[in-house]
Amino acid sequence: MKQNVVLLFFVAMASLMIVSCRSSKKISRSDTGFPTKDSTGLKPGDSAWVDPELAQAILSKIRSRAIDFKTYSAKLKADYQTDKGESMNNLTVDINIIKDSLIWMSVNVSIFGEVARLKITPDSLQAVDRYHKVMYLRDMENAQDVLGIPFDFGTIQDLLVGNPVFLSDSITKIVTTSSLISFNSVQNGFNSLFNVYADDYGLQQSRVTSTDSLGTERSCELTYGNYKEVDGYQLPFTRRVFVEDKHLVKVALNFVRVELNKEKVTTSFNFPRNKFKQG
């Protein structure tokens, strides 16, 4: 495969450098749908007006579920495909996080072993494509060309762990059903639609959209499922990600293991720069 997939898969929760193309099983889209669109300028009496106390109660319950930790360690299996026919199954991704300090990831393919490793701090990004012998070194302020998205360290951390991203302090147009609560949130130019489960306020689905300076719309849709308890927190062990920009990227993530607060996690990134091209 010629394309460097690290740029796209980061949106999906991990960093990938795919080394070859092969036939892949289809990743189906969970068509739960979002019954809301953004609403502004609403007032009492409007059908979509939101009671501020209700909105704050919902936000409080969602945030009470936030996953807190000192260290986070996970192993997952990932399937990847695009609308250009690029695909790969059964990638193994290891993730280690030291909260608010460091994110480390390693991507393995069964035939080749490790094909990519990545290390992020609040200030810097280091990534190695071991197959193509390319190394990326960036300040986080200038890392968008590698990530492909304007995410900061905290957003990437929340995305990987399973906490909500782009959830602002105010929400609009709440719609409730017996099983789901849906609402809209706008933050820093990102328009987000959320579905949370009505019984426990866990994330079921979110869709984030933004428009660049040329008027091109981007969207990232995340679906969460198979919640399991880990150290008192409910964590989603199954996630589906659909990223739409100029092309469609689909990623299926199935977590095999998640551990919180291990005393020591692997964060090594020792590669001689003279052995790699600079990307």
Q: What pLDDT tens digit does each residue of the chain (279 aa) get?
A: 334 444 444 433 333 332 222 223 444 444 434 333 333 333 444 445 578 899 999 999 999 999 999 999 999 999 888 888 878 788 899 999 999 999 999 989 888 888 889 899 999 888 888 878 888 887 777 665 555 555 678 888 998 999 998 898 889 989 999 999 999 998 777 889 999 999 999 999 999 887 766 777 778 899 999 999 999 999 999 999 888 877 788 889 999 999 999 999 999 998 877 777 887
| CA separation for the pair 182, 179 (Å, rounded) | 10
Q: Which two tokens stand for residue 274?
A: 């003279």
| CA separation for the pair 200, 224 (Å, rounded) | 14
DSSP code at position 276: S
Q: Which two tokens stand for residue 132?
A: 């193509």
DSSP code at position 12: H
Residues in a beta bridge with 92: 77, 108
Q: What is the DSSP string of 118-187?
A: EEE-SSEEEEEETTTTEEEEEEGGG-HHHHSS---HHHHHHHHHT--SS--S--EEEEE-SSEEEEEEEE
Residues in a beta bridge with 93: 76, 107
Comparing CA positions, the residue from 61, 62, 60, 69 lying closest to residue 231 is 69
Q: What are 188-195's contacts with CB under 8 Å, separation 24+?
A: 190/166, 191/38, 192/165, 192/166, 192/167, 192/168, 193/34, 193/36, 193/37, 194/164, 194/167, 195/32, 195/34
Contact 218, 212 (CB under 8 A): yes
pLDDT at 127: 86
Helix, strand, coil percent values for the chain (each to nearest 5)? 15, 45, 40
| CA separation for the pair 21, 120 (Å, rounded) | 27
| CA separation for the pair 63, 75 (Å, rounded) | 25
Contact 203, 162 (CB under 8 A): yes
| Domain covering 6-22+48-264, topology | outer membrane lipoprotein receptor (LolB), chain A (2.50.20)
pLDDT at 1: 39
DSSP code at position 85: S
pLDDT at 146: 53
Q: Please report, for residues 134, 149, 158, the alpha-carbon distance to residue 142 in angstroms, rounded to integers and kept in the order given.
A: 18, 11, 20
pTM greater than 0.85 (yes/no): no
Contact 235, 258 (CB under 8 A): yes
DSSP code at position 275: G
Comparing CA positions, the residue from 76, 122, 74 lying closest to residue 101 is 122
What are the domain boundaries of the chain? Answer: 6-22+48-264
Residue 269, Cα to own-chain centre: how many angstroms?
Answer: 23
pLDDT at 130: 85
